[in-house]
Amino acid sequence: MVNEPISTAETSVPAVASTTSDSRYAIELKKISKRFGAVRANQDIDLAVSKGTIHGIVGENGAGKSTLMSILYGFYQADSGDVYINGRKTLIKNSRDAIAAGIGMVHQHFMLVDPFTVLENVMLGAEEHALISRSATDARRELLRLSDTYQLTVELDQPVGELQVGEQQRTEILKALYRKADILILDEPTGVLTPQEADQLFEVLKSLKHQGVTVILITHKLREIMDITDTVSVLRQGQMVAHRNTSDTSMQELAELMVGRALTETNHQRSTPLPTDAETRIKTNNLGVVDEHGKTRLTEINLEVKSGEILGIAGVAGNGQSKLLEVLAGISSPTTGEFMMNGHEVTRDKPMGPLKMRQLRVHHVPEDRLKLGLVKAFTAAESSVLGYLYKEKFTWRGLLQLHNIKKMCARLMEGFDVRPGNPKLKSASFSGGNQQKLILARELDKSPEVLLVGQPTRGVDIGAIEMIHQKIVDMRDGGCAVLLVSVELDEIMALSDRIVVMYEGRIVAEVNGRDADKTMLGLMMANAHTGAAA
Amino acid sequence: MLDTLSTVYATIDATFRVSTPLILCAMAGLFSERSGIVDISLEGKMLAAAFAAGSVAAVTGSAWAGLGVAILTSIALALVHGFACITHRGNQVVSGLAINILASGLTVVLGIAWFKTGGQTPSLENSARFMPIELPLAGALSDVPIIGQFYSDVVSGHSVLVYVALLSVLVTWWVVYQTRFGLRLRAVGENPLAVDTAGLSVSRLRFAAVAICGGLCGIAGAYLSISQNASFVREMTAGQGYIALAALIFGKWRPLPAMLACLMFGFLDAVAIRLQGVPMPYIGEVPVQLIQALPYVLTVVLLAGFIGRAIAPRAVGVPFVKER
């Protein structure tokens, strides 16, 4: 099955209008096109996935993966083209049709009702009886059977809001199986998982495959494609550019197909050791934060960043990294302990706001660019002066100096290759990568001495990632102290001179960037290493 | 001693009568808000229903006809709210406000046009109203001290709509927590996208919720004009729709606590009525206005900090836009 050649773009099935097709395929798409205004999100997509296989779909952000899957699940209607499920032409107008056709979907952002229990979430929309109690009895029996068959263990009576992400994901899979799905689509399923949780997920997927379920895995992580899929398709700018048997391809080839050009992988660690007289720019001393609900968010954080080095903070999302970044950037105050920021002490009683930080040449590229980085409804020019309006160049006697602002924005856009390079466009109309470049440009332009960066390449294309990494490294080489928070291990490992790992608000390990090993870091992120702190 | 007991019983009795429209409206609001639709138009729907009930009862002489038309009127307004907020994703507060203003103006205009009595509806005969009903054995038991008296003074002797209101709380609880519809209703107010991907129609669920809300507001309105009073009077709802909304928030969008909050407001109101003109020890006679302000002062105080953080249904007030 694995080695069987799949229908490729070159050898596509003749486009005869018929209601049946080859029934070896669980899903077959023929000439699917979809456009949004001027954007052609999907263009003549052909795809065939054999029953009982795991098929990967890779592509950069904005390549049209999500649109394609949304068409399959009935969120959108294709403008043209046909969908065949198990060889039969199928019209999918909404989720109900998709479920009826045996398609189950695990969305990137889980479709769960947080206060409901796992059982209630699974039942929702598939309750047999008008009374909850009767439906629940049946559902419980069926779920126990399913979790036995596929090793999908979840505590059925826990509210899902209190579960770990991995368990929430298993709930989503159970939801699909409970609805008798024999085609399971997973959209970026490992983005929020630790490497160990991801492995667990892959075990489940393999066992699903052995039971005859067809799995479609959408991801931009090539390693996962290589590890688990049988066949793979590559999307680029709305078109299917290649179909491959996984065993016949390589990560290098797939990456180049995704981007459309050759890529070079580089490690950016310092080539020379840090000079011994390098100035300490950030130093925290037993920093702790208890939030307004009385929950401990950070405990005894001790770290140090010197001029000319990048300290990477690794960890699964939600283990205190965001809070740490927030405190260091002056957005919130520590409740215990203190830290020195570029020579100034900050404590609970002596807080320092973001404006003062900026004047100390401490600059911050926030994790959530839409929440903290820019205002979606502002023009690019307006977003490009956020936080710097106090400068006389931009505000004179309370009046905005629009000409200067636009000129400066145009300069930033040119320097960081922000496309389209038009300062008058709304911030929201730029792609994620270009928004990120604009924010980076705004902060780096002020030649910071300390740079705090959160998730610099979240939702950013491979092409832009290279450039953003290079800019950060340039800062470091220019003597800036960089603190980098990222959930992407590859990013942490490519950039950091030193890496600390956070788990539940504590620093649980520190390693040298050059010696870092992915498996070891993964174990540390799950706090499962046995005192292996180097 | 016996006199004190009578006073207490009379106050509790009044509490139920005053709380009835609050309880019905709070349950109405619960359905709407649990489905994710903010409803500040409880007030307007209740007012329109009160007018409809008063008019129809006056013309036909039938309280039941009045009640029926009141319910239909209120449901019609609820569907307008739904059309604006669900179908067209309008702002839910603006739509609710519009309905309130519409009801406030239209009832008076139609009242003047139809009955020529300055916006009131004609006074109703008792036969065209819902009158207090004696429960079985009430008379016989009234002589039994304390318990019997409680039964005949407090439990018995209310209009059928008072019992309907209390029953509506139990039914609401049962529907919301024990039925499939309730599960879906709660889900759609928390995460409509999850409901949509589960293959259910978000707008159908929300329309159902809004219609139920309308029906309950209709009963509340009818109670005001053809049971508690004998005609419709302009602005007779006097902000009770908003008080019911406050009670719903106090009760954290749960039926039983919301009912208790309604009873508390009703109790304060009943006490206020009883205290009017009565000299208090040490203080003397308290001005009527001050007493009447009491429930509202308490609302502010309680809302400001005594009830803890109320966690609203997560999707309440947010129009459902199906896109990714």
pLDDT in tens, B219-235: 999 999 999 999 999 99
A150 and A70 housed in the same domain: no
Q: Is the pLDDT of residue B323 over 70?
A: no
Q: What is the pLDDT of residue A6?
A: 44
Mean pLDDT computed over A497-522? 89
Q: What is the domain extent for residue A319?
A: 280-525
A378 and A500 housed in the same domain: yes
User: Where does the pLDDT of residue A98 fall: very low under 50, low under 70, confident under 90, or very high at 90 and above?
Assistant: very high
Under an 8 A CB cutoff, do A135 and B180 touch? Answer: yes
- Could you tell me if residue A533 is inside a domain? no
Q: What is the pLDDT of residue A264?
A: 62
Q: What is the value of ipTM here, to two decimals?
A: 0.88
A41 and A172 housed in the same domain: no
A321 and A366 housed in the same domain: yes
Which residue of chain B is at minimal alpha-carbon distance from A66? B324
**Displacement of CA B236 from its chain's centroid (Å):** 13
A61 and A160 housed in the same domain: no
Q: Does A132 touch chain B (CB under 8 A)?
A: yes
CA dist., res. B148 & res. B137, Å (int): 9
**Helix-helix angle B202-223:B42-60, to 10 degrees:** 50
- Could you tell me if residue A531 is inside a domain? no
- In A133-192, the residues whose Cβ lies within 8 Å of chain B are 133, 135, 175
Q: Helix or strand or coil: residue A232?
A: strand
Residue range A52-61, pLDDT digits in tens = 999 999 987 6
Residue range B35-70, pLDDT digits in tens = 999 999 999 999 999 999 999 999 999 999 999 999
Q: What is the pLDDT of residue B223?
A: 97
Q: What is the pLDDT of residue A84?
A: 94
A420 and A377 housed in the same domain: yes
Q: Does B309 touch chain A (CB under 8 A)?
A: no
User: Where does the pLDDT of residue A1 fall: very low under 50, low under 70, confident under 90, or very high at 90 and above?
Assistant: very low
A311 and A440 housed in the same domain: yes
Report the percent of chain A where pLDDT is more than 70: 94
Which residue of chain A is at minimal alpha-carbon distance from B183? A124
Q: What is the DSSP string of A410-462?
A: HHHHHHTT-SS--TTSBGGGS-HHHHHHHHHHHHHTT--SEEEEESTTTT--H
Q: Does A125 touch chain B (CB under 8 A)?
A: yes
User: Where does the pLDDT of residue B308 fall: very low under 50, low under 70, confident under 90, or very high at 90 and above?
Assistant: low
Q: Which residue has the higher pLDDT, B118 or B221?
A: B221
Q: What is the pLDDT of residue A8?
A: 42
Q: Does A119 touch chain B (CB under 8 A)?
A: no
Q: What is the pLDDT of residue B218?
A: 98
How far does B7 lie from chain A, in Å, by closest CA?
44
User: Where does the pLDDT of residue B255 fall: very low under 50, low under 70, confident under 90, or very high at 90 and above?
Assistant: very high
Domain ranges of chain B: 2-238
Residue range B132-149, pLDDT digits in tens = 988 888 878 888 888 888
Q: What is the pLDDT of residue A5?
A: 44
* Whole-number average pLDDT of chain A: 87
Under an 8 A CB cutoff, do A105 and B178 touch? Answer: no
- Could you tell me if residue A269 is inside a domain? no
CATH at A98: 3.40.50.300
How far does A313 lie from chain B, in Å, by closest CA?
31
Please enumerate in sequence order all residues whose Cβ is within 8 A of that of A286, keeping only pairs 6 or more positions apart, or say none. Answer: A300, A301, A302, A336, A337, A338
> Other CB atoms closer than 10 Å to residue A447's CB: what's the count?
13
A187 and A173 housed in the same domain: no
Q: Is the pLDDT of residue A488 over 90?
A: no
How far does B288 lie from chain A, in Å, by closest CA?
42
A390 and A516 housed in the same domain: yes
- Could you tell me if residue A237 is inside a domain? yes
A47 and A192 housed in the same domain: yes
How far does A181 lie from chain B, in Å, by closest CA?
12
Report the percent of chain B where pLDDT is more than 70: 97
Under an 8 A CB cutoff, do A129 and B180 touch? Answer: yes
Under an 8 A CB cutoff, do A130 and B199 touch? Answer: no
Query: Cβ(A460)–Cβ(A469) under 8 Å?
Result: no
A159 and A236 housed in the same domain: no
- Report, in this order, helix, strand and coil percent for chain B, each rounded to 5: 70, 0, 25
CA dist., res. A177 & res. B217, Å (int): 42
CA dist., res. B159 & res. A170, Å (int): 53
Q: Which of B99, B65, B55, B61 is nearest to B210 (CA)?
A: B99
Residue range B160-171, pLDDT digits in tens = 999 999 999 999
* Whole-number average pLDDT of chain B: 90
A132 and A96 housed in the same domain: no
Q: Is the pLDDT of residue B296 over 90?
A: no
pTM score? 0.78
Q: Helix or strand or coil: residue A194?
A: coil
The total domain count for chain A is 3
Q: Is the pLDDT of residue A363 over 90?
A: yes
Q: What are phi and psi of A125, to 5 degrees?
A: 90, -10
Tokens of A364: 């911050």
Q: Which residues in chain A touch residue B187, judged by CB atoms under 8 angstroms apart?
A: 113, 116, 124
Q: Which of A279, A324, A298 is nearest to A450 (CA)?
A: A279
- Could you tell me if residue A266 is inside a domain? no
Q: Which of A515-529, B109-123, B294-308 has the lowest mean pLDDT?
A: B294-308
- In A84-103, the residues whose Cβ lies within 8 Å of chain B are 94-96, 98-99
Mean pLDDT computed over A411-427? 88
How far does B178 lie from chain A, in Å, by closest CA?
5
Task: Write a three-state SS string for A492-525.
Answer: HHHHCCEEEEEECCEEEEEEEHHHCCHHHHHHHH
User: Where does the pLDDT of residue A265 fall: very low under 50, low under 70, confident under 90, or very high at 90 and above?
Assistant: low
- Could you tell me if residue A63 is inside a domain? yes
Q: What is the pLDDT of residue B324?
A: 43
